[in-house]
């Protein structure tokens, strides 16, 4: 239908002709799918239809100068990102959405958020330099929005002038993440090198990458610590014949994605999107010429395979190194930091249990099962990597009243308390992670979450004033908020989910805690895609690892301990 429309002169086309095609696509993407999409499989018909619908509405806006097309295209791409956060169309959909918001909808605040996320996910994309210019406030012109009908991407850095090229025909199967086009390679200087190959080898305790080269490159290294990304730039480098951009998804505990792409003329960038606490070391070897990048867990230099085997045979106590306290975001030091207090005992609370199932996903998975699995995994990580004493409020499927969970922590003289939950919403499309600390709030969404988690309390209305007084007298609010911020950031980065942010709410399970305490909402069990992921042991381990990094970051901020590298990895 779209190809037939393209054969009609533009001046003879009408909006109804575009909407007739959109109706066909809408019938596809509105149809529920039994199997949620995965980053490792071919895009589903719903993903293809949503992406194509966005391209169709861009064509409506450009061909007929119809502003409705821009709004409809933004709706299509926003829905695609919300419904299929791991889609292979994400790179181009997020790029197009940001540019539509920036140039056509007057929503530059939203566009900035999408551009920042685009840069975080795809720092090696050739469009990254253009996005950076936008975020710095430099004057730029509208870029090409989507791959052309022939399947080439709009990934080259756009010129500051409008480009009015037709989007892909919905009927065509355009590549989800097409390679960026390579500009004709000029005569290379004598020092130029060719990138000839990329190989990777997963090992029990790390990952090794081998980049084949025609000679020794000039290399520089950079990192975005907040997003656990590290990259290596090869100057005066070009792709050899047969080589092109590579974008690889991995099911590896240390690295989630590998990206090799032409970043700007004469620069090839290798970007590694880390999932956990990894140390990357790069070494050059001649004959044959190659760059070897080794990634190992932990913050110390990577150990050899032989020494790792020795550690497994004769485990040594974790190395503890004192560090200076990190100030609060406003530059102040709270009482815990001023007194040099440390963390030695942590209470982990698996939400719900027994007759209290918590939320139940569309696949029948209940919240109490997920939280117990994550809690036990988190406890093992804290014991193995930090040597902390861990106490659980429950280790089996039993019901523990909300007030007793905090009492367990108080009686144990715990230094930290974390309660683990899975989120839920009436809309199956809602996704994200969040962390809460105890305080009163008027936020309706936070109150809704608190009401659901407080549902099993047996307290009567006569207890209201006592609870209000307890919340008001909470002397660990500042420390809890800081702890909450570390947990929230680690969850968002470790799970690559929407960050719903740090929030406060009156959770019964946090009232009365005499230590920094948080409640973590890890993924939405009501979302079919994440319900499927939460049923997988590997994803629960990934959640536990993200929580571990948040706790470790907070401990380090107190001038606590720096853990030694441990052979206990996420997939174990």
Residue 555 has pLDDT above 90, yes or no: no
Within this chain, do residues 487 and 549 fall inside the same structural domain, yes or no?
yes
Q: How far apart are CA 488 and CA 502, in angstroms?
A: 6
Q: Which residue has the higher pLDDT, 343 or 110?
A: 110
- Residue 452 has a pLDDT of 60
Residue 199 counted as domain residue: yes
Which of the listed residues 135, 160, 179 is the one where a domain comes to its end? 135
Share of the chain above pLDDT 70, in %: 71
Domain boundary among 100, 135, 170: 135
Domain shared by 421 and 273, yes or no? no
469 and 346 in one domain?
yes
CB contact at 8 A, 454 and 405: no
* CATH number of the domain where residue 382 is located: 3.40.630.40
Structural domain span for residue 47: 2-135
How many structural domains is the chain composed of? 3
Query: Strand pairing partners for 392?
Result: 348
Q: Which of the two residues, 571 and 485, has the higher pLDDT score?
A: 485
Residues contacting residue 22 through CB under 8 Å, at least 6 positions apart: 53, 56, 57, 72
In this structure, the answer to whether residues 352 and 459 fall within a common structural domain is yes
Is the same domain home to 517 and 444? yes
Ranked by mean pLDDT, which of 93-107, 163-177, 304-318 comes out on top?
93-107
- Same domain for 293 and 378? no
- Which residue has better confidence, 229 or 152? 229
Do 347 and 265 fall into the same domain? no
Residue 513 lies in a domain: yes
Q: Is 184 contained in some domain? A: no
Asked, for residue 223, whether it belongs to a domain, the answer is yes
pLDDT digits (tens, 9 = 90+) for 428-486: 999 999 999 887 555 666 556 656 655 555 544 444 444 455 544 555 778 888 899 88
Residue 272 lies in a domain: yes
Indicate whether 385 belongs to any domain.
Answer: yes
**Long-range contacts from 161-165, C-beta under 8 angstroms, 24+ separation:** 164/62
Question: Do 380 and 503 share a domain, yes or no?
Answer: yes
The pLDDT of 150-176, averaged and rounded, is 36
Contact 531, 365 (CB under 8 A): yes
Give yes or no: residues 398 and 544 share one domain: yes
SS (H, E, C) 263-327: EECCEEEEEEEECCCEEEEEEEECCCCEEEEEEEECCCCCCCHHHHHHHHHCCCCCCCCCCCCCC
Do 289 and 429 belong to one domain?
no
pLDDT tens-digit series, residues 519-539: 999 999 999 999 999 999 989
391 with 505, same domain?
yes
Total-model pTM: 0.43
Residue 29 belongs to a domain with what CATH number?
1.25.40.10
Q: What is the pLDDT of residue 375?
A: 95
What CATH number does the domain containing 281 carry?
2.60.40.3500
- Is 328 a domain residue? no
Give yes or no: residues 518 and 427 share one domain. Answer: yes
pLDDT tens digits for range 56-72:
999 999 899 888 889 88
Residue 568 lies in a domain: no
Domain boundary among 301, 328, 358: 301
């Amino acid at each position: 239908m779209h190809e037939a429309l393209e054969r009609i002169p533009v001046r003879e086309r009408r909006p109804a002709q575009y909407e007739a095609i959109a109706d066909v696509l809408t019938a596809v993407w509105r149809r529920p799918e039994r199997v949620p999409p995965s980053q490792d499989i071919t895009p589903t018909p719903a993903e293809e239809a949503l992406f194509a619908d966005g391209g169709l509405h861009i064509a409506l806006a450009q061909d007929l100068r119809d502003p409705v097309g821009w709004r409809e295209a933004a709706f299509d791409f926003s829905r695609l990102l919300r419904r299929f956060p791991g889609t292979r169309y994400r790179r181009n959909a997020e790029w197009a959405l940001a540019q539509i918001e920036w140039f056509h909808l007057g929503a530059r605040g939203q566009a900035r958020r999408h551009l920042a996320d685009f840069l975080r996910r795809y720092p090696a994309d050739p469009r990254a330099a253009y996005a950076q210019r936008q975020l710095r406030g430099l004057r730029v012109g509208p870029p090409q929005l989507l791959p052309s009908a022939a399947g080439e991407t709009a990934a080259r850095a756009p010129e500051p002038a409008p480009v009015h090229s037709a989007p892909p025909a919905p009927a065509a199967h355009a590549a989800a993440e097409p390679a960026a086009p390579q500009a004709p390679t000029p005569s290379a200087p004598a020092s130029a090198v060719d990138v000839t190959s990329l190989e990777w080898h997963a090992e029990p305790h790390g990952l090794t990458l081998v980049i084949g080269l025609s000679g020794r490159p000039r290399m520089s290294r950079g990192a975005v610590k907040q997003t656990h990304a590290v990259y290596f730039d090869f100057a005066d480098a070009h792709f050899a014949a047969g080589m092109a951009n590579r974008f690889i998804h991995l099911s590896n505990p240390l690295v989630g994605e590998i990206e090799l792409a032409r970043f700007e003329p004469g620069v090839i960038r290798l970007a590694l999107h880390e999932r956990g606490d990894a140390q990357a070391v790069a070494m050059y070897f001649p004959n044959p010429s190659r760059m070897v990048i080794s990634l190992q867990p932990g913050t110390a230099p990577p150990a050899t395979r032989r020494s790792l085997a020795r550690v497994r045979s004769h485990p040594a106590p974790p190395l503890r190194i004192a560090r200076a306290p990190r100030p609060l975001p406003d530059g102040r030091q709270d009482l815990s930091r001023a007194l040099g207090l440390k963390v030695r005992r942590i209470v982990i609370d698996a939400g719900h249990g027994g007759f209290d199932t918590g939320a139940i996903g569309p696949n029948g998975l209940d919240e109490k099962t997920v939280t117990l699995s994550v809690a036990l995994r988190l406890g093992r990580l804290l014991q193995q990597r930090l040597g902390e004493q861990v106490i659980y409020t429950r280790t089996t499927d039993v019901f523990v009243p909300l007030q007793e969970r905090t009492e367990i922590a108080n009686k144990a003289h715990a230094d930290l308390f974390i309660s683990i939950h899975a989120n839920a919403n009436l809309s199956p499309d809602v996704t994200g992670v969040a962390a809460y600390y105890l305080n009163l709030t008027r936020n309706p969404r936070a109150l809704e979450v608190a009401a659901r988690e407080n549902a099993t309390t047996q307290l009567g209305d006569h207890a209201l004033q006592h609870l209000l007084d307890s919340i008001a007298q909470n002397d660990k609010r500042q420390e809890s908020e800081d702890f909450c911020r570390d947990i929230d950031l680690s969850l968002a980065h470790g799970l690559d989910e929407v960050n719903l942010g740090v929030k406060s709410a009156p959770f019964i399970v946090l009232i009365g805690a005499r230590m920094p305490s948080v409640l973590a909402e890890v993924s939405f069990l009501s979302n079919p895609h994440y319900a499927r992921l939460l049923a997988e042991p590997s994803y629960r381990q990934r959640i536990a690892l993200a929580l571990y990094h948040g706790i470790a970051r907070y401990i380090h901020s107190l001038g606590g301990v720096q853990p030694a590298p441990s052979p206990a990895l996420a997939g174990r």
